[in-house]
Amino acid sequence: MANPMRIRAAAKEGVTEVRVLMSHVMETGQRKDSSGAAIPAHFITELVAKHNDKVVLNAQFGPSVSTNPYLAFKFNGGAKGDKVTVSWTDNKGESRTDEVQVA
């Protein structure tokens, strides 16, 4: 399983800002290793963010996203102590889910 995501969520004036740093190789399938063999594609395909179990962001990723992707977004609502959950799934069926409380 991949390393935990680093998630920060802060509410201010009725808007919650979330910042996520994901640990993933995000390999495109276009590069070759030192022996000239193609490195298989391995990248995040879908990301879902929830606030108290309500979806606030659903995103599709592709091979053009950089290694260890960073994502920042805002949504209306949220208060200190609420739960924000972020989940991703990649093209090999691996997945990761982490959560944080809003500060």
Q: Which two tokens stand for residue 42?
A: 């391995």
Q: Give the C-alpha separation, 51 to 54, whole Å.
A: 5
Q: Which of 65, 54, 55, 56 is nearest to 91 (CA)?
A: 65
* Ordered domains of the chain (ranges, CATH): 6-101 (2.60.40.10)
- Residue 68: its pLDDT value, please? 97
Beta strand ranges found along the chain (DSSP E) = 6-12, 15-21, 44-51, 54-60, 70-76, 83-90, 95-101
Q: Kindly indicate the confidence band of residue 39, based on its pLDDT and cuts at 50, 70 and 90.
A: very high
User: Does residue 57 carry a pLDDT above 70?
Assistant: yes
